[in-house]
Amino acid sequence: MSAVADDRLPLAPLLALAMAAFITILTEALPAGLLSQMAQGLAVSEAWVGQTVTIYAIGSLMVAIPLTAATQGVRRRPLLLAAIAGFVVANTVMTFSSSYALIMVARFLAGVSAGLLWALLAGCASRMVPDHQKGRAIAVAMVGTPLALSFGVPAGTFLGNLIGWRACFGIMSGLALGLMVWVRITLPDFTGQVAGRRLALGQVFTAPGVRPVLFVVLAFVLAHNILYTYIAPFLSAVGMAERTDLVLLVFGVSSLLGIWIVGVLIDRHLRALTLASTVLFGLAALALGVAGDAPGVVYSAVAAWGLTFGGAATLFQTALAKTAGDAADVAQSMLVTAWNTAIAGGGIVGGVLLERLGVGAFAPVLLVLLAATLVVVWFARRQGFPALMGGDRRMLDDA
């Protein structure tokens, strides 16, 4: 009985972290679903409203690494509460302000909060459990991400049409405020790094295994965002423009299945799951490139793609948390920067490909990126994506 009890995950604080991820993603993406309403309400063009997403990403990119490094010694729970409070303030401004300039400042603040929060999530989740459960704990904490993308954004768009875009951000502010209470009650208050054990940014970046994981994040997520950002023109080119919402639903549902599979298997098979995800994503890209004009192929390929992406963040964050050890939070801030760089890069690279070569160029570029990912994961078998994970070591020790 005691062994079973010891293997139970602390669900209340982990689900609080999942809620934090949900609010972060939804705050970032909600303007995309409310573009026209926000443009009318603020008396600006839709293109200018689109920049509220850009400034959010810039906030994360600019501060994730320096802010996380500067706060290494701060206790984790107050720091996490401060990050969530940033969302309360930012979304409250979105609810009441009619000033586009002030809203842009609020969105930048939200991006700063997001950069700090993403750097803390995996470290907080992994510190709640023994080594052989770190992957499962991070998977639970990350479940808010696919939920926000699959259901949160469509639900927010629907609510926006019913009650207005400002009310949607007001609801987000209320959720963040409630989350602060939840975190304060349930989350353990972990200490920060003592001064003598803090590592400089260069030491963390050059630590064995860190750079391979960061490269994999950059290449894999760049491949994803080239396709995801321009999925509408891709589908339009193959005569499926009117099915874009259904295709994205298939992607979202399969993403949820992907994170569930990863959560079950990650502590014993992180390396195998990462290799399998990369290969499956590559096969999906190949299918879209070869037979993307067949609806059945498109749905199957998108389902496979969603399956691989759903658990990707959990795989990469777990790999980095295990690799970086005590410097996990600083390493995670580097992951946040790499991830956001890939998001921005996906928009730029995909846009250039679309204008100069057309959607037919997507598949070859994706395959090159995924081949590079596969090679790096394959050779990072000792550090980064080790062949023997915590669960396997425990079994050997017991034997």
| Whole-number Å distance between alpha carbons of 333 and 49 | 27
Domain 7-196 identical in fold to domain 199-392: yes
pLDDT in tens, 326-356: 777 788 888 888 888 888 788 788 888 888 8
Q: Is the pTM of this model over 0.75?
A: yes
Residues 87, 347: Cα–Cα separation, whole Å: 25
Q: Is the pLDDT at 368 greater than 90, yes or no?
A: yes
DSSP state of 149: I
pLDDT in tens, 131-165: 888 888 888 888 888 788 777 877 887 888 889 99
84 vs 321: CA distance, rounded Å: 22
What one-character-per-residue DSSP string does 37-69 give? HHHHHHTS-HHHHHHHHHHHHHHHHHHHHHHHH
* pLDDT recorded at residue 2: 39
Q: For the domain 7-196, what is the CATH superfamily, name and number?
A: MFS general substrate transporter like domains (1.20.1250.20)
Lowest model confidence (mean pLDDT) among 92-96, 252-256, 303-307, 329-333? 329-333
Mean pLDDT of 15-33: 89
Chain centroid to CA 188: 23
CB within 8 A of 139, min separation 6: which ones? 259, 262, 263, 266, 311, 314, 318
Q: Is pLDDT of 357 > 70?
A: yes
Please give the DSSP secondary-structure letter assigned to residue 198: P
> How many Å apart are CA 135 and CA 119, to the nearest integer?
16
30 vs 86, 297, 306, CA distance in Å? 17, 30, 20
Of 344, 348, 223, 207, which is closest to residue 284 (Cα–Cα)?
223
Q: What are the structural domain ranges in the chain?
A: 7-196, 199-392
List, in sequence order, the alpha helices (H) in the chain: 2-6, 11-33, 35-42, 46-70, 76-96, 100-127, 134-142, 144-147, 153-163, 165-186, 201-206, 210-229, 231-237, 244-291, 295-310, 312-324, 328-356, 362-379, 390-398
Summarised one tens digit per residue, pLDDT across range 95-104 is: 999 999 999 9
Asked whether the predicted pLDDT for residue 284 surpasses 80, the reply is: yes
pLDDT at 197: 58
178-208 pLDDT per residue, tens: 999 999 999 998 877 655 555 677 778 788 8
* CATH number of 199-392, picked from 3.40.50.261, 1.20.1250.20, 3.30.530.20, 1.10.1200.10: 1.20.1250.20
CB burial of residue 302 (10 Å; 0-12, 13-18, 19+): buried
| Closest residue by Cα to residue 376 from 227, 286, 271 | 271
Residue type, 388: L
pLDDT at 399: 36
